[in-house]
Amino acid sequence: MTKIAIVEGDGIGHEVIPVARQVLEVLHPTYDFYTVDVGYHRWEETGCPCADRDIAALKEADAVLFGAVTTPPMKDYQSVVLRIRKALDLYANLRPIKDSGFDVVIVRENTEGLYSGIEEIDADRATTLRVVTRKGTERIVRSAIRLVQNRHGSLTIGHKANVLKSDVFFRDICLKEAQAAGIPHNDKFIDALALDILQHPDMYDVVVTTNIFGDILSDVASYLVGGLGLAPSANIGDRHALFEPVHGSAPDIAGKNIANPIAAMRSAALLLSHLADDPGADLIEQAIQRTLTSGIRTRDLGGNAGTREFGDAVAHEISRLTRR
């Protein structure tokens, strides 16, 4: 039986993830869904946001559907997201940006770079070590190359090699791997790339870059599809996979039933694709589009539907589509 771990997280995660779970249950009622509770609220209650037993539970799943978690700016607070990525070795963060005129996947290295977690802070200085390894770079660019080969597209390598020696290292390894694979490729400075991908998204296919650059670039590119509330992501390793909306926990709107659940539902669609159910993933996207076309929209898209109401409408559309 396929096992799906559900992590609602914090804030609006408690609202959008149940909606995404609902559409998965419509399509796959026989899946074994189970809840794993982690996040800032757990830290407030117990002093531990993510315990060893929670990591063990996540490792038991065939895939994880993950909501946003709050990470407070406290030097003694361990990031739940970073711990899970490292514990499950989810080294490839895939962020698709797709609309009628373009189809881009940003492939972000997910376990090192400036998010290495190697930091020091004292009264007069704070230091974060940016780690770029040969192993980490080779496996992320090889993941990107496999995507290019499957999509029959091209690879763009994003970097800042004109300033950072670690990016010279990253760029050169990526270029060598792309040349060896015989795929079309080019490289761009990340700041120029951020502008150009907004102006000419149709010119890009697969983009690979380091951790923090990929984080920023994918958030910038989400503008092309309507913002963070619509953008999904996948975190992939050799043995485990986790799927989450790009947006944060948004505590300012939590509990108000106004959060847009589309990013969470699209993350559920990526989960199904990972489990080799592309038809199910396509049904989720079709149902979202049909719901929007019918005039049912959340407030951020100019409508008045709540999170639950929009989710119910999409689930209803999926049921209609599957009865055909």
Shared domain for 120 and 223, answered yes or no, is yes
- Residue 232 inside a domain? The answer is no
- Residue 220 inside a domain? The answer is yes
Q: What is the mean pLDDT of residues 160-179?
A: 98
Q: What is the mean pLDDT of residues 110-128?
A: 90
- Residue 76 inside a domain? The answer is yes
- Partnered with residue 7 across adjacent β-strands are 66
20-35: b (≥16 Cβ within 10 Å) or e: bbbbbebbbeebebee
Please report, for the domain that includes residue 191, its CATH number: 3.40.718.10
Residues 98 and 226: their CA atoms lie apart, in Å, by 11
**Sign of the CA dihedral 90, 54, 35, 254?**
negative
Shared domain for 302 and 189, answered yes or no, is no
Domain count, the chain: 2
In DSSP notation, 63-125 reads: EEEE------S-TTPPPHHHHHHHHTT--EEEEEEEETTEEEEEEEE-SSBTTS--EEE-SS-
Burial class (CB in 10 A: 0-12, 13-18, 19+), 309: middle
Residue 4 pLDDT greater than 90, yes or no = yes
Residues 86 and 67: their CA atoms lie apart, in Å, by 17
Return the minimum-mean-pLDDT range out of 13-27, 69-83, 104-118, 295-309: 69-83
Indicate which residues carry an active-site annotation.
Answer: 115, 160, 191, 215, 219
Res 116: pLDDT: 86
Phi-psi sector, 182: left (phi>0), alpha (psi -120 to 50), beta: left
pLDDT mean across residues, the chain:
95
Res 324: pLDDT: 66
Q: Domain span at residue 198?
A: 97-227
Shared domain for 208 and 243, answered yes or no, is no
